[in-house]
Amino acid sequence: MDFNVKKLASDAGVFFTRAVQFTEEKLGQAEKTELDAHLENLITRADGTKNWTEKILRQTEVLLQPNPSARIEEFIYDKLDKKLPSRGTNAELLGQYMLEAANEFGPGTPYGSTLITVGEYQKRLGSAERELLHTSATTFLTPLRNFLEGDWRTISKERRLLENRRLDLDICKARLKKAKQAEAKAAAAPDFQETRPRNYVLSASASAVRAEHELRVAQTEFDRQAEVTRLLLEGISSTHLNHLRCLHDFAEAQATYYAQCHHYMQDLQRELNRCANSVSAPLSSAAVCPDPVSSAFLSGPPSTLTMEQSQLPVTGTRKAKVLYDYDAHDASELSLLADELITVYTVPGMDPDWLVGERGNEKGKVPVTYLELLS
Of 278, 307, 340, which one is at a domain's C-terminal end? Answer: 278
Beta carbons within 8 Å of 92's beta carbon, 6+ residues apart:
122, 123, 126, 127, 130
The CATH number linked to 137 is 1.20.1270.60
Mean of the pLDDT values across residues 208-227? 91
Instruction: Identify whether residues 111 and 233 lie together within a single domain.
Output: yes
287 lies in a domain? no
Could you tell me the pLDDT band of residue 181, with boundaries at 50, 70 and 90?
confident
For residue 75, the model assigns a pLDDT of 60
290 lies in a domain? no
Mean of the pLDDT values across residues 279-305? 40
For residue 5, the model assigns a pLDDT of 62
Instruction: Identify whether residues 102 and 213 lie together within a single domain.
Output: yes
For residue 82, the model assigns a pLDDT of 65
Residue 305 has pLDDT above 60, yes or no: no
Instruction: Identify whether residues 116 and 254 lie together within a single domain.
Output: yes
Instruction: Identify whether residues 214 and 269 lie together within a single domain.
Output: yes
60 lies in a domain? yes
207 lies in a domain? yes
Instruction: Identify whether residues 270 and 324 lie together within a single domain.
Output: no
Instruction: Identify whether residues 271 and 332 lie together within a single domain.
Output: no
Of 215, 250, 278, which one is at a domain's C-terminal end? Answer: 278
Instruction: Identify whether residues 162 and 103 lie together within a single domain.
Output: yes
pLDDT in tens, 306-325: 334 333 444 578 899 998 88
Structural domain of 341: 318-373
Could you tell me the pLDDT band of residue 167, with boundaries at 50, 70 and 90?
very high
For residue 288, the model assigns a pLDDT of 46
Instruction: Identify whether residues 324 and 176 lie together within a single domain.
Output: no
HEC states along the chain?
Answer: CHHHHHHHHHHHHHHHHHHHHHHHHHCCCCCCCCCCHHHHHHHHHHHHHHHHHHHHHHHHHHHHCCCHHHHHHHHHHHHCCCCCCCCCCHHHHHHHHHHHHHHHHCCCCHHHHHHHHHHHHHHHHHHHHHHHHHHHHHHHHHHHHHHHHHHHHHHHHHHHHHHHHHHHHHHHHHHHHHHHHHHHHHHCCCCHHHHCCCHHHHHHHHHHHHHHHHHHHHHHHHHHHHHHHHHHHHCHHHHHHHHHHHHHHHHHHHHHHHHHHHHHHHHHHHHHHHHHCCCCCCCCHHHCCCCCCCHHHHHCCCHHHHHHHHHCHHHCCEEEEECCCECCCCCCECCECCCCEEEEECCCCCCCCEEEEEECCEEEEEEHHHEEECC
Q: What is the mean pLDDT of the chain?
A: 81
Lowest mean pLDDT among 62-71, 72-81, 139-148: 72-81
Instruction: Identify whether residues 40 and 132 lie together within a single domain.
Output: yes
> d(Cα 110, Cα 118) in Å, to the nearest integer?
12
231 lies in a domain? yes
- What's the predicted TM-score (pTM) here? 0.65
Residue 120 has pLDDT above 80, yes or no: yes
Of 278, 302, 334, which one is at a domain's C-terminal end? Answer: 278
Among 82-91, 96-105, 183-192, 275-284, top mean pLDDT goes to 96-105
16 lies in a domain? no
Instruction: Identify whether residues 183 and 324 lie together within a single domain.
Output: no
341 lies in a domain? yes
Instruction: Identify whether residues 342 and 270 lie together within a single domain.
Output: no
294 lies in a domain? no
Number of separate domains in the chain: 2
The CATH number linked to 326 is 2.30.30.40
Instruction: Identify whether residues 235 and 324 lie together within a single domain.
Output: no
For residue 183, the model assigns a pLDDT of 75
